[in-house]
Amino acid sequence: MRLPRFAAIAALFCLLLCAPARLLCAPAPQVATEPVSEDAAMATMAVFELFESKCNDCHGAQLTRPKGKFGYTMDLKRVAANEDFIVPGDPAKSELFRLVNEDEMPGKESKEGPASAAEKLALHRWILAGAPTTLPPKLAERQAELLFTTNSAETAPKPAQSLLAKTLAWIGRFHPASTHFPVALLMVALLSEGLAWATKKESWLSCTRFLIVLGALSAVNTAALGWLNEYSGVSEVYKIHKWLGTATAIWALISAGAAIFFECREGTPERARLRGALFFGAILVSVVGFLGGVLTFGADHYNW
């Protein structure tokens, strides 16, 4: 009596478990890309060739660690299906087109140089035509090869790095961990100063001083680690993060100097300036921290 009931429950459980999984695993509905006009077919081939010559080295399936975690550039179907990259029919809304059109991709480190005007135009036409993915047999064969072979260059041992360079780069990896200190300390320095202002108690000043000096030292440490960190990014966000982060460390040092060397009594202009500097510093450090988060987790990290 027991066994059949157990079996029935187990079967029901499996069914419930498998049904959604099947839905998830079901192949995505094929977008009808046929028939493709001649112009669209030409654009598709040109885009394939552009991707192969100028993107595949950094974004190819053969890489174990493709740049920007984007490692399927030759898989046109997958690229076209990624809404973050391509909005079929609308190049202006397609991030991938923007990146190539504004020469953000291929990056500056690329040997091949930026995409030519003709290549950009082909990319534009391809997206406008709805990003079709049908390739002529020869290129389809080539595509299969590119998607399923491993690059010998990638598996070959990397050129030896000097011990010093390796050690410095390793130390640089502590940059993300170190960022918590300046962020928290500079924010709490502002809180301490807010309490000083609210209570008019002179004793808060020593607390502010302590926090801002520690905050400034940790900001310098974090900026230095950031410079040691081997990050191969080329995006605008990265550049802004790097320079704004450096500026924040300098700003924090100046604020700490002001807190130490001036007689910052309540009601004096020096104290008002210190407060302004702290406020500005807290904003700076938050913006830099946020941009660092964007680099690691993406701009949509805080989406609801």
Torsion angle in degrees (nearest 10) through CA of 207, 210, 214, 215: 40
Shortest distance (Å) from residue 270 CB to ligand HEC = 41
Residue 191 or 240 with smaller CB distance to ligand HEC: 240
Shortest distance (Å) from residue 68 CB to ligand HEC = 3
Shortest distance (Å) from residue 34 CB to ligand HEC = 25
Residue 89 or 113 with smaller CB distance to ligand HEC: 113
45 burial (CB, 10 Å; 0-12 / 13-18 / 19+) is middle
Residue 123 or 196 with smaller CB distance to ligand HEC: 123
Shortest distance (Å) from residue 205 CB to ligand HEC = 42
Shortest distance (Å) from residue 237 CB to ligand HEC = 6
Shortest distance (Å) from residue 174 CB to ligand HEC = 20
Residues that bind ligand HEC (CB under 6 A): 50, 54-55, 57-59, 67-70, 85, 96, 99-100, 105-107, 109-110, 115, 232-235, 238
Shortest distance (Å) from residue 114 CB to ligand HEC = 8
Residue 115 or 278 with smaller CB distance to ligand HEC: 115
Residue 212 or 294 with smaller CB distance to ligand HEC: 294
Residue 51 or 204 with smaller CB distance to ligand HEC: 51
Residue 112 or 145 with smaller CB distance to ligand HEC: 112
Q: What is the DSSP string of the chain?
A: -HHHHHHHHHHHHHHHHHHHHHHHHSPPPPP---S--HHHHHHHHHHHHHHHHHTHHHH-TT-SS-GGG---TT-HHHHHH-TTT--TT-GGG-HHHHHHHTT-SS-TT-SS-SPPHHHHHHHHHHHHTT------HHHHHHHHHHHH---HHHHSPPPPPPHHHHHHHHHHTTHHHHTHHHHHHHHHHHHHHHHHHHH--TTHHHHHHHHHHHHHHHHHHHHHHHHHS-----SHHHHHHHHHHHHHHHHHHHHHHHHHHS---TTSHHHHHHHHHHHHHHHHHHHHHHHHHHHHH-TTTT--
